[in-house]
Structure 1
Amino acid sequence: MARQVLLFISLLAVGSVLGQVSYTIPEEMIKGSLVGNIAQDLGLQIKRLTSGKARIYARDTDQYVELNRERGVLLVKERIDREALCKQTTPCALHFQMILENPIEFYRVTVEITDINDNAPIFKMNDMVFEISESAVKGSKFILEKALDSDVGINGLKSYSLNPTDNFALKLNDNTDGGKEVEMVLEKPLDREKEEQLTLTLTAVDGGEPQLSGTVQIHVTILDVNDNAPVFTQSTYKSSLMENSPKGTQLITVTATDKDDGTNGFVTYSISNNIDGILDLFEIHETSGEVRLIGNVDYETSKHYQLNIKAKDQGGLSNSCKIMFDITDVNDNSPIIDLMSTTQSVPEDSTLKTVVAVMNVHDADSDDNGVVKCFLNDNVPFNIESTSNSFYSIITDSDLDRERASEYNIIVTCSDEGVPSLSSSVTLTLQISDVNDNPPVFERSSYEAYIVENNTPGLSVFTVKATDADWNQNARVSYILEDSSVNGVPVSSYVSVSADSGVIHAVRSFDYEQIKDFYFRVKAQDGGSPPLSSNVTVKIMIQDQNDNPPQVLYPVQTGGSLVAEMVPRSADVGYLVTKVVAVDVDSGQNAWLSYKLQKATDRALFEVGLQNGEIRTIRQVTDKDAVKQRLTVIVEDNGQPSRSATVIVNVAVADSFPEVLSEFIELTHDKEYNDNLTFYLVLALAVVSFLFITCLSRILYHSNLPVIPYYPPRYSDTLGTGTLPHVCNYEVCRTTDSRKSDCKFGRAGSRNVLIMDPSSTGTMQRIQSEKSILDEPDSPLERQHLSLLAFLFKIDLILALSFVPLFVTHIKTCLLYICLSFLVRQCRPLDN
């Protein structure tokens, strides 16, 4: 086996022919025989053939050669019969391509099939019969049937021999088609009287090793006196024939004449070709010489046809001529598109000119009918380029975006330049694979949500939602609570966020009185690599509930003392007795307070302002009214349900201190105490109280300060939602002359501040006083009075807490308050 390797390496674009290799093998090799080591000849590694999924591509359906990727060799796939494959065409070759992927490469491979002498010359006719007149002159020619040898070259037909050669000699003439015409030439005149029949043997021999031969018998009948053979008007006729011409088309008429008379001059015509298929395409009328088309001629199968026409007279003389038909091409073949290699998907971030498919386009027509141009459908980011003759690559022509288009149907249309033009198309579906190039996007630029205070921990507040335009894992969004703090506390102790659903949960129970709102940020992160994220600000606003009852600031309720408001019997209708001051640390309507008189010693004497809590007389006070009046005031807020608080206000209706003292001091005698001990203790308490009141009066007198009962000078709601949003002082001045009490609204901005701690349950924790009621004394006398006052107060406190029973302490407190009220009447009015 001879092998010739021709390898061309060219630096072309991806998808073009990178090399070519040729092999020569004889026909009839057994299956599995080695054709050539293509990996070695192309300089490729075996692993490249495996990883690149190397395969053989041939346009024809039959493949005679297969690729062994593991060995890198070409093997005979099935027995090759050169004669069946190529007939008389030389050279006979197989043309195919070897395709590799990742990246796409292909190589041209040519395998030439050489002939072996496996066919002997044969004659189509079993016998040749000639009728020759005895008058045939020396040199008369008789055309013999040629032998047919399917082999070519040296293995083809080489020579003929005729036996015996007494009367005839063999002559070979070269034809224009390269073949030889066999003629039997009369060398010696015939004598019918000596011999009526001659039998000759014609032997055809090829040039192979060993030589093969075929024979045919020639039977010659000698006729009498026909000494002129037919003669054609032309030795060669030429005509053109359009392919796909309909059957029955009249093509040409040949004419031969014979100078003999009678039956010896009657000529008949026949086609003497022995080439397969000729008699299936053409026929000649036996007597008229008209040649007609009886089959379908195809330019792509054969471009030329030659007919050998034989004219024979009745005396057995014959002559021959040739008809040469040139087949004219018709555009009857659409381009054939073969997708050699395609890509199912391509990433959206692929670079420009990325190859997505390689195809071969072939048109069997010729000239302009076979010139093909290919183009793609509009509105696709791809282009088609010709990489070499009849090979095309589809490449990316612009940036891809899966979010804009995730799939493309690329329609490839190829048209020839025939008239009319024929075209073919094929559709390639290409998926655009996703790349993580889009961050999650929240539905809103910011979120606000409300939650009612005293919520249950773990309560779902609301949901944040973000979407990602990417696909699959790149679009899977997770939610993360960003680290931050609220009032110095990590935000994670307030709320949590579900990583999968974005649901915000309250971690703790909120108290509106402690915190009204807070901010935090939630990050949405996708599952790409690397991940992309975005964040959003969330504001949680706490809504108030009516969870705090009103708090009474005035009058102050003491545990062991009895405090009373003093009303003169001369008080007119509408006289202001006192004012109940209450607050509610809730907000809104939950802090709207109303005041009602729940119980009273005499309900016909007093009323309470519904909105302001002022206790006033509703009729003229008379001498019949009891000195001791007890009022129960209920303070209610406007919440649902409503919450309330009660306060007891003691009122003394009297004009003098002794009258009040005799009513409120009710001494009881307890058998558990000694009468004498009680007497001395009360006496000591009275003396100390008298000295305490005397010192306090002188200090007030010398300091020119009014004596004022305690009213809360200011209530400051640290949350800004209390019931006293404005700062206001209430100062009461009682005169000794008019016996009337007037309510005076003093100046705002007192420095006494009532502070509510937001962490408490609603009760007042402490009262911070930034300025004392009394100014700092300047003279030594005033400082002595204050020292004495402090000493007496301590003694009074010791007696009250250590020795005197609880009811005595109450009496003492009432006495002190009555004394203070009496002294207030003696002080001069406040300046305006």
Structure 2
Amino acid sequence: MYSLTVVARVGLSYGKTMVNIVVQDLNDNKPVFLRDKEGITLSENAAVGQEVYLARARDLDAGINSRVTYSLSYNPDDQFRISEATGVIYLNRPVHADPNTVLHVEVTATDGGESPLSSRHSVMITIEDVNDHTPVFDHTSYETSLLESTPVNQRFFALAASDADLGANGRISYAVTEGNGEEKFGVFPDGFLYVRKPLDREDKDYYSLTVTASDSGNPLRSSVVPVVIHVIDENDNSPVFTNNTFTFSIRENEPPDSFVGKLTATDRDIGRNAELIFSLSSLQNDFAIDPKNGFIKTLHVFDREELVQSTGQNFMTLEAAVTDNGSPRLRDKVKVNVYVTDVNDNPPKFLRAPYRVQISEGSSVGTQVLRLYTSDADEGLNGDVFYSIVGGNDDGRFDIDDATGQITLARSLDRETYSKYLLTVVAHDAGLTKQLSSSTTVSVDVLDENDNAPEFTQTDTKISVSETTPVNTELIQFRATDADLGVNSEVIYSITAGNRKDTFHVDAMTGVLYLHKPLDYEELSAYQLNITASDNGNPRLSTTILFAIAVQDANDNPPSFPSTAIVRQIREGIPVHTPIVTVTADDPDSSLNGKVTYAISYQDPEDNKRHFGINPITGVIHTLLPIDRETIDTFRLTVVATDQAEPVSSRLSADKLVTVIVEDVNDNAPIFVSMNAAVLPKIDSKFDKGGVTIMTVFARDLDSATNGLVTYELASGNNELFRLDQSTGALKLRKSVSNPEPTYRLSVKATDEAVQSERKSTEAYLTVIATNHVDVGPKFESDSFTGSVYENEPPGTSILTVSAKYHSGEVEYYVTNVTGGGVQVDRLFDIDTKLGVLSTATELDREFGVDTFEIEVYAIVTGVGTLKTSKTKVGI
């Protein structure tokens, strides 16, 4: 506008006036941006509706010509929208571009003139990377092998994982997190596995590791992969013979190349390192051995009698060696005793020849006349000699005991008729294939004396004895009588045959039979004894009876388990009655004494529930109840093996520990334990750009590892006002609110980090209460409330009622905090929003350590114009 003073003159007269000229605007200026281009960044996970950029343009015109409106003249895929009046650009759709991608948006500012003018402004939006990708291994599992001699710190296998994020969000580090309890392996930062401690295949030939790849983002993200490592054998174990000494036998007179026995050895290695080669000492020329199978054979014929005569023993001792086929070759040595067993190749030989004897003509029938003795160099039956009279006994006056060579009187003698007898006696051995014999003469002079042999009076010919009978136990007393008088009637008892290993002993004077050495039914179950009763006459006469002793088996061997530990892994949730492991015990006893049954005597932990059962016959252990790792993750079962001896009190048993480890399955969803109400904090003038924390949301997941790792998100509510931290669960206020609503209703979601297909989640509702610091809120009936509740009551048990009054509107109640022992605890209590009834939210346990709780309760008035709140404390 211009103000002019206009003067008009006529002669000396003049007049003046004010002329105001208003300059009307013409739309000759277009809107102008401060800069033609602008560059900004935007997070790749930015929420739809988020403010992205504020476009501002100025127009020098006036009025309608200076009123600027904004529009997007270039907006690919309708990614953004703009407020026409304010120029605020909002995100219209989720960002699907890769990080570091630049999105071009063109903003047009147009004035309101009749012929509108406009200008354009370019906004270059760079998509900023967010750590939203988890490292991914290039394989779902790995398997490799390495020599057990691999040096410590040597690399042997490369793992590789990738992360689609950028910078630190995509920088990966590796760690062995499971299966490495002995710390045998490590992993370098570049993903190469290396040997951390020396390996031993014989100790363990298989490792199942879990390797975790983690990025460097915030929050950190990680993934795991199983790695199976097989340890390859090397020749680091010497072969070992199975016996300290081998004992074999071979019959004498066998032809060369006869089989003697087989050597056996073991080698803890495998493959070529366990291939065994046998050899004998080169210092002997008697035997040869097959290097592959250890068969020993003879090189010539052996004579047992010659061997005994030359060496004093009937066996030969060799030195054998076994070598493996590894590199270097390892060996072991052992002694081998080869016994040469007897063949009947020697006839009996009489010790005296000829024999002369005198006998009284009054001797009764059965009188012992003479005992012939022979020697036979052979053994066993080949050396057992039997006798017979083949001449000079035509009238049968004499008999001979075919086993003992005892000649006895068979018929009464008469010296006046025959005063002398010349008997021909043949002695032959008891060889099975052939029998050899020799003969001698016995001259019998008949004298005028009488004699009688002892006679047994007892009728028992057999007894049974338990193998556990103590040594020196009296078994039976033999009784024999002799009709003679004086020393000729004194009876002496002896065991003349069948007393193997000198197991029994008979008292010579009393005839009492004692156990001299321990019995073992498993070694020998019966004995046949020759019991002889002899007098003290001259010549001595004797009587022999056959006495049988049966050994009764006793339960003297308990069952025995293998010494190796029994550990099994099972997944939780497997079907009931699933077999998991078989235990086996051996018992060398016979019959019921060796029959084993199985039972589970104890389960750790002991919770009055039997999670496992066992087949008493087969020893197969199976599940009886559903298995839940979150309740019990390791079971220790004591299995008892018992024989079936009778009576029950004599039974023997052994026990074995069976360890069952339960592997986790993602069968639990996160459960919110934090408060479901919080108070909106008072905001001062200096609002923190990072936001003000209102509360921390917390959900607990009972699973392990990533199955129990929880992340959070805001499912519904005011996203522009509130923000929920994904990892920590911190609920923050994005900006200051001058006139808050009485309450804000939010829905939060907790999700575990199991594999995508198995993830579980839970949603909960939160109420954020805006407090009023000026107006007086509802009036509680008391400044504080006190109540009590019994422990172990079910959730939802009512405790007390909190009541507050206000002259108008309805009052709602909220629990905002619970503390116990001065420390904030889980949301253990709930309150009825409308009625104010306080109740338990979970089952309480007084022995848990806290028996007194303080609960903060807020009361808020709804339906009135301004905020009106009050709070009180409740003690439980």
Structure 2 length-normalised TM: 0.39
- 1 or 2, which has the higher strand percentage? 2
User: TM (normalized to structure 1)?
Assistant: 0.40
Structure with more helix by fraction: 1
Tell which has more relative contact order, 1 or 2 (C-alpha 8 A, sep 6+): 1
